[in-house]
Structure 1
Amino acid sequence: MAFFLDSFVMFTTQILFFLGGWIFFMRQLFKNYEVRHVIVQLVFSATFALSCTLFELIIFEILGVLNTNSRLFHWKFDLYAILFILIVILPFYVAWFIFTNIRIVQNRHLTFPLTLGAWLVFVYFFWKLGDPFPILSRKHGIFSMEQVMSRIGVIGVTIIAVLSGFGAVNCPYTYMAYFVRDVSDADIQAHDRKLLQVMDMILTKKKRILLIERDQLQQASSNRKQASGIWGMLKSVATSSGGANLGQLQQEVAGYEELSRQLFLELVDLNSTKERIEYSKTLKGKYFNIMGYVFSMYCLWKIVICTINIIFDRVGKTDPVTKGVEIAVHWLGIEFDVTFWSQHVSFILVGIIIVTSIRGLLIKLTKFFYTMSSSKSSNVIVLLLAQTMGMYFVSSVLLMRMNMPPQYRMIITEVLGDLQFNFYHRWFDVIFLISALSSIAFHYLAHKQTGEKPVYT
């Protein structure tokens, strides 16, 4: 009876997550695009629901909700379901919609064989992905959970590390007032005057072009009437001279129009910077400025820790919460129930990680979709976003295992199988370090170039 009650709770929450994904899919992300295919909508919503259910099971694991056997069953059910979607359904339908959009494939009878062939190619390269990494184990079959999870872990952990490295650098760069250029109202007014001057010059030269074209039309009509004699020759010379001036004026107008576009973009940048300066003076702006310094310290700490872990081939054995509480208790020298409070703090930390992960990934998916989508490619892009989302969340569970106390890792370890967990943490450190250092170099060059932009007077 308890198993059926637990299953009712789990399937009810899955339906709610599915409806949430459907609403987000229909009303927010894709409302302005022709994504009407029911299969695409169902697959995206199902992937979102299963991904959220994995995080729900982590919270239930910490709180002790549901029976242990029920949690184990739903862990396996959800993982097998989402892995089947990621390996079979999503790649197959991505290939299907690609071939249906290609005009060369006119015969619909060829779509299925081509799609099946493309899916087999995907499976082959997906399997070969494990060759360069120490994730293979001969004692597991090719269709076992370990073989599939090991390869998805490599892709998903890479995505997480790249996004984490960029976010750790981009957040302080975005929030801190230190990186904002000093822009005054006088700078904006001078830039605005320069733009107006260029626009006036464009209008003046375009008027001259219209006058020359009018004169050429009048001269052409009069030349047809008086095509002979010295006067006609003089008229033809004057017409050719006007044509030369016309070509020069058109080149000048093209140059000034390009300059006006650059000045307009720089004016928009100055106004945005001015608004950012005004925002930084508000209470909310000061709060984000402080958080920017916190994130910058975290970024530096994470870079140092990742470097140490890579050099000394080190992986933490204790979760950060328990370790932090033990250090605080040792320094303060007080009586403290480390196990009890570690459980509650771990629950809060994992909850924050889950909420921020889901929110951050959905925001990134929305921006990417608005940038890349079109009427023909929208179905393919939505399926690729679902693929990325599923791999991201499955790999988050793999990495989140280290943030949990040892007593809560057991069932996750049992479900995920005999994986090389230490390898994935080291791989995360390597990719995070590369991503963070690359982001620092990119922001440094962009900030330096922006700082050296001339202000027109």
Structure 2
Amino acid sequence: MGYLEDSLIILVSQIIFFSGGWVFFVKKLFKNYEIHHRLVQLIFAFTFSLSCTMFELIIFEIIGILDSSSRYLHWIVGLYLILFMLIVAIPFYIGYYILINIRFVTPNMIRPLTTGIWLLFIYLFWKLGDPFPLLSPKQGILSIEQAISRVGVIGVTVMALLSGFGAVNYPYSSMAYFIRQVSNADALALEKRLLQTMDMILAKKKRIALSKRGSKAGFSIGSPAGLWGMLRSKNTESDNIWQLKQEVSALEELSRHLFLEAHDARDQLARLEWAKTWQGKYFNCLGYFFSLYCVWKIFISTVNIVFDRVGKKDPVTKGMEILVHWLGMNIDVTFWSQHISFFLVGCIVITSIRGLLLTLTKFFYAISSSKSSNIIVLILAQIMGMHFVSSVLLMRMNMPPEYRMIITQVLGDLQFNFYHRWFDVIFLSQSL
């Protein structure tokens, strides 16, 4: 009966996560582009559901929900399903939707070519693990560790790139210190210059149109005796038109720069107004905090790389030991480490999911089109799944040893230290 109840809890939570992924997909990614294929929507929402379930199982491990054997079973089933999506289903359909957008590919060619593209992906995916010390030699070719290790390399790379960029960009985008001081008069002056430039462009284009019409009329009407005069007039008009076109081209380039400057000025004014609000002040404080975090993270990543160092204890346990031994405080380490670990992991899960979804949305809006939207959504689902699998790999270090056992058992005999060093290398290069 215990397995049935536990499975029902996991099933209900997956339905909730699936619905959340579906709503995000419809409300965000469908805002400007119509995804006509329902299968693409299902793949994205199902991958999102499986990814969130992994985080849910970590939290269940900390607070002791579900039987331990039941958690292990659902870990295994969830990992196999998400690996199937990341290695088989999503790459196959990415190849399929690429081919159906190519004109010269006939319907009879799509299936064999799609299979060929998928086999090429499998070959490249397998060869990806050759340069890295991912596994111990005793692991078999078809073991789950082989797939997880390669997914982890891609996912950790994506995480480190996003983290390195975000650690530097977030303070810049949220702190009032980096907001350029612009007055409303400056913005109005730029807009006035832009309007004057547009009026000049319009006037010169009118002159070009009138010159072309007058030139045609003058060449078609006249006597043969005045042919030489008409030719000279024609050349003069051509020179004038060419000169006007050059001036219009220069003014259009100037108008583009003025437009960008005016837009930036209005954006800075909006940021200045936002910085005066309570929300702006709150994010300004967060910006100072993340500035310190960025400096500390760059420093500690450099130390880890230079001295080949990987932390052995999670931050919660290390902090508890400092309080107990250095400050002489008498606290229950086991009790508080469990609750603080639950809070810490919960914060990591929420911020990771929110941050990734916002990044995926911006990325989709930046590069998507009516023809490529299905392909882009599938690529985002692939990145999302690999990102969350890698988050589990790296999150293991933030948990006390007694809660790491389930992740170690499920993921197998991986070189966990390698992924932390790899993260530090990519994070440091990206942030610099």
- TM-score, with structure 1 as normaliser: 0.91
How far apart in 2 are the matches of 1:28 and 1:281?
29
* Residues 255-311 of structure 1: CA deviation (Å, up to 9, x unaligned): 111211211111111111122122222222122111111000000000111111111
The match for 2:195 is 196
- Matched residue SS, 1:412: helix
Q: Aligned match of 1:257 in 248, 252, 256?
A: 252
The match for 1:18 is 18
Q: Aligned match of 1:314 in 309, 312, 335?
A: 309
The match for 2:61 is 61
* Residues 398-434 of structure 1: CA deviation (Å, up to 9, x unaligned): 1101111111011111001001111111111111111
The match for 1:144 is 143
- Matched residue SS, 1:178: helix
Change (3 A) 1:101 1:196: closer
The match for 1:33 is 33
Shift of 1:103: 1.9
The match for 2:170 is 171
The match for 1:216 is 215
How far apart in 1 are the matches of 2:127 and 2:208?
64
* Residues 364-395 of structure 1: CA deviation (Å, up to 9, x unaligned): 11111112222222221111111111000011
- Matched residue SS, 1:385: helix
What is the 5 A alignment of 1:97-112? Answer: 97-106=97-106, 108-112=107-111
How far apart in 2 are the matches of 1:248 and 1:272?
36
* Residues 26-55 of structure 1: CA deviation (Å, up to 9, x unaligned): 333124433222322222111111001001
How far apart in 2 are the matches of 1:138 and 1:104?
46
Root-mean-square deviation (Å): 1.6
* Residues 213-270 of structure 1: CA deviation (Å, up to 9, x unaligned): 34324423422xx2x22x4433432233122112211211121112112111111111
How far apart in 2 are the matches of 1:355 and 1:70?
24
**2:135–2:413 Cα contact (<8 Å) kept:** no
- TM-score, with structure 2 as normaliser: 0.96
Segment of structure 1 superposing worse, 281-290 or 45-54:
281-290
Q: How many residues align?
A: 432
How far apart in 1 are the matches of 2:23 and 2:389?
22
**2:156–2:391 Cα contact (<8 Å) kept:** yes
Change (3 A) 1:104 1:311: same
Matched to 2:154, the amino acid is I
The match for 1:157 is 156
Change (3 A) 1:341 1:380: same
The match for 1:417 is 412
The structure 1 segments of at least 4 consecutive aligned residues displaced by more than 4 Å after TM superposition are: none
What is the 5 A alignment of 1:116-135? Answer: 116-135=115-134
- Matched residue SS, 2:221: helix
The match for 1:113 is 112
Segment of structure 1 superposing worse, 136-145 or 415-424:
136-145
How far apart in 2 are the matches of 1:33 and 1:211?
42
How far apart in 2 are the matches of 1:206 and 1:85?
57
**1:373–1:381 Cα contact (<8 Å) kept:** yes
Please, which runs of 5 or more residues in structure 2 have no aligned partner?
A: none
Shift of 1:167: 0.7
How far apart in 2 are the matches of 1:36 and 1:191?
43
The match for 1:267 is 262
- Matched residue SS, 1:291: helix
Change (3 A) 1:81 1:303: same
How far apart in 1 are the matches of 2:7 and 2:195?
68
**1:130–1:136 Cα contact (<8 Å) kept:** no
Q: Aligned match of 1:354 in 349, 353, 357?
A: 349
**2:29–2:361 Cα contact (<8 Å) kept:** yes
How far apart in 2 are the matches of 1:318 and 1:238?
88
Asked if 1:285 corresponds to 2:285, the answer is: no
* Residues 319-361 of structure 1: CA deviation (Å, up to 9, x unaligned): 0112123223434322111221111111111111101111111
